[in-house]
């Protein structure tokens, strides 16, 4: 049984505790799903999560002025990740893919949110390019103004849900100024002429991923999110909200690895006694528990700070993502060790966690990029 003591922390309200319990029992009944066909699995997960109401927190309700509740996003990701990495991915991308629409969309653009919240449309966030992942302000993709339209040309890569998404939030250079100040954001339906899946990408823990080619994709000027030149700021404010949720997913993976390790240490006999009697095993379990609690404190500190009305949580979000993902990697590696051969056996839960965790230290800003962000914040604030 996963540790629930953290739910008593003052970061949470009763509706968070209630959600965590209910989602946990939904997961216990519905997850994991088979991952043999990731596109089909992901589509089905979005449909089922949407049908049962779990995607509602991923975007704002058009009839309700309240902002996104970041603690709910984090608790949802943590819970889903404990059961199935693909379910967490399906949930997370509905939020990341529509974050810019929730925060900056017009009433017309927000009509999409009804569909992404009920699981009838799949969203994607298209920022990275072959030449600019970390150095995103250096992007090449162009959006050229032509009368009352924009024409997008260039490439995006590593796009989660690429190939199965119904809508893409796409960032492109509109040239108001050099670098970060000359980028704009656009809402592009997948069916738009010229938007092509150039390549499907396979990774360690399979998810739908693609490189996209924009062959003179023409969208009306009403597809612009926010104002021309605001795209970089929009992308960063979306990442501010969603980075703590990456930490939360890492926390879910780490908790599962820890729970499995405790079970194994109690059940497995070594040298005539339970493995848990070995003090070095106890030492590993203590380190794992410590890392998990410290990560949870940082994740829920960031989420709570945002929910309390902070305009930006750049430092808190970067700390949460960096620490929780790095520590989850260590925790899962310790779990592999404690499981012996089973830890690397294909199809074993610990083996799948070992594959699932790695990409979280790369996407939405690699670990070293988070260090740069934190350093800028602390040096700037000195
Ligand atoms: C599974 C997965 C899903 C993804 N999903 C999406 C998505 O949905 N949408 C999207 O737009 N992108 C997505 N990405 C792309 C992801 O955000 C980029 O891969 C990431 O930002 C790193 O960019 P890069 O791969 O170009 O590596 P690079 O930018 O080349 O960085 C490589 C390494 O260089 C080092 N480095 C970089 N910058 C610095 C620095 N300033 N200081 C010190 N060291 C540094 C770090 O060690 C970094 O890991 C996804 C990636 C993966 C792996």
Residue 382 has pLDDT above 70, yes or no: no
Phi, psi of 97 (to 5 degrees): -65, -25
What is the whole-number distance in angstroms between the Cα of residue 360 and the centre of ligand 1? 10
**Rg over CA atoms, the chain:** 21
Question: What span, in angstroms and rounded, lies between the C-alpha atoms of 244 and 255?
Answer: 16
Q: How confident is the model at residue 1 (pLDDT cuts 50, 70, 90)?
A: low
Q: Residue 68: is it exposed, middle or buried by C-beta count within 10 angstroms (0-12/13-18/19+)?
A: buried
How far apart CA 373 and CA 74 sit, in angstroms, is 21
Kindly state the average pLDDT of the residues 167-189.
Answer: 97
Residue 241, classified by CB atoms within 10 Å of its CB into exposed (0-12), middle (13-18) or buried (19+), is buried
pLDDT of residue 263: 98
In this prediction, residue 170 has a pLDDT band, given cuts at 50, 70 and 90, of very high
> What is the full DSSP assignment across 149-184?
EEEEEEEEEEEETTTT-SEEEEEEE--SSSGGGGEE
Strand ranges in the chain using DSSP code E only, listed in sequence order: 123-126, 142-146, 149-160, 167-173, 183-189, 195-200, 209-220, 224-225, 269-270, 273-274
pLDDT digits (tens, 9 = 90+) for 307-359: 999 988 999 999 999 999 999 999 999 999 999 999 999 999 999 999 999 99
State mean pLDDT over 216-233. 98
| DSSP structure string for 195-252 | EEEEEE---SS---EEEEEEEEEEEEGGGEESSTT-HHHHHHHHHHHHHHHHHHHHHH
Catalytic residues: 364
Mutate to test the pocket of ligand 1, among 90, 126, 130, 134 (most ligand atoms within 8 A of CB): 134
Q: Which of 65-69, 170-174, 218-222, 249-253 has the lowest mean pLDDT?
A: 65-69
pTM above threshold 0.95? yes
How many C-beta neighbours within 10 Å does residue 376 have? 13
| 8 A C-beta contact, residue 265 and residue 274 | yes
Q: How many residues does the chain have?
A: 382
Which atom of ligand 1 approaches the CA of 93 most closely?
Answer: 8
Please list the residues that pair with 169 across neighbouring strands. Answer: 125, 187
Ligand 1 centre distance from Cα of residue 146 (Å):
32
Please, are residues 311 and 235 in contact by the beta-carbon 8 Å criterion? no
Question: Three-state SS for 106?
Answer: coil
- Which of the four pLDDT bands, split at 50, 70 and 90, describes residue 63? confident
Tell me, in angstroms, the distance from the centre of ligand 1 to residue 276's CA: 39
- C-alpha 152/C-alpha 172 separation (Å) is 7
Among 115, 302, 323, 112, smallest CA distance to 223 is for 112
* Whether pLDDT at 84 is above 60: yes
User: What pLDDT score does 363 carry?
Assistant: 96
Spell out which residues line ligand 1, taking CB within 6 angstroms: 125-128, 133-135, 158-160, 203, 209, 359, 362-364, 366, 368-369, 372
Which ligand 1 atom sits nearest the alpha carbon of residue 128?
11
CA of 371 to the centre of ligand 1 (A): 14
Q: Which candidate, 294, 92, 361, places its Cα nearest to that of 286?
A: 294
Lowest mean pLDDT among 3-7, 304-308, 353-357: 3-7
Q: Which atom of ligand 1 is nearest to the CA of 361?
A: 49
Distance (Å, whole) CA 174 – CA 368: 29
What average pLDDT does the structure give for the chain? 96
Task: Answer whether residue 119 shows pLDDT above 90.
Answer: yes
pLDDT of 381 = 65
- The residue whose CA is least distant from atom 22 of ligand 1 is 133
Q: What is the pLDDT of residues 269-288, one digit of tens each?
A: 999 999 999 999 999 999 99
Please give the Cα distance from 158 to 36 (Å, whole number): 20
**d(C-alpha 288, C-alpha 334), whole Å:** 8
């Amino acid at each position: 049984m996963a540790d629930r003591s953290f739910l008593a922390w003052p970061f949470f309200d009763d509706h968070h505790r209630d959600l965590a319990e209910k989602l946990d029992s939904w997961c216990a009944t519905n997850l994991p799903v088979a991952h043999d066909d990731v596109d089909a699995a992901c589509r089905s997960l979005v449909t089922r999560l949407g049908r049962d109401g779990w995607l509602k927190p991923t975007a704002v309700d058009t009839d309700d002025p309240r902002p996104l509740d970041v603690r709910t996003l984090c608790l949802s990701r943590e819970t889903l990740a404990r059961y199935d990495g693909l379910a967490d991915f399906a949930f997370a991308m509905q939020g990341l893919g529509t974050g810019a629409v929730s925060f900056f969309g017009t009433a017309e653009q927000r009509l999409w949110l009804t569909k992404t919240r009920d699981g009838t449309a799949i969203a994607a966030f298209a920022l990275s390019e072959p030449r600019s992942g970390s150095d995103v302000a250096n992007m090449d993709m162009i959006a050229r103004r032509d009368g009352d339209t924009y024409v997008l040309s260039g490439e995006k890569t590593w796009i989660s849900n690429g190939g199965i998404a119904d809508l893409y939030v796409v960032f492109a250079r509109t040239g108001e100024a050099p670098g970060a100040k000359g980028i704009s954001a656009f809402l592009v339906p997948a069916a738009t002429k010229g938007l092509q899946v150039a390549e499907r990408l396979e990774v360690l823990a399979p998810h739908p991923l693609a490189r996209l080619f924009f062959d003179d994709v023409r969208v009306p000027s009403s597809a612009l999110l926010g104002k021309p030149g605001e795209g970089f700021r929009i992308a960063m404010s979306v990442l501010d909200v969603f980075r703590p949720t990456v930490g939360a997913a890492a926390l879910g993976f780490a908790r599962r690895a820890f729970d499995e390790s405790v079970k194994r240490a109690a059940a497995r006999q070594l040298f005539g006694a339970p493995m848990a009697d070995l003090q070095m095993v106890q030492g590993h379990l203590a380190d794992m528990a410590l890392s998990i609690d410290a990560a949870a404190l940082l994740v829920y500190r960031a989420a709570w700070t945002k929910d309390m009305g902070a305009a930006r949580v750049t430092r808190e979000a970067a700390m949460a993502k960096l620490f929780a993902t790095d520590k989850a990697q260590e925790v899962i590696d310790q779990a592999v060790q404690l499981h012996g051969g089973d830890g690397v056996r294909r199809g074993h839960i610990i083996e799948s966690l070992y594959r699932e965790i790695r990409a979280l230290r790369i996407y939405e800003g690699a670990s070293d990029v988070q260090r740069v962000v934190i350093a800028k914040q602390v040096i700037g604030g000195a």
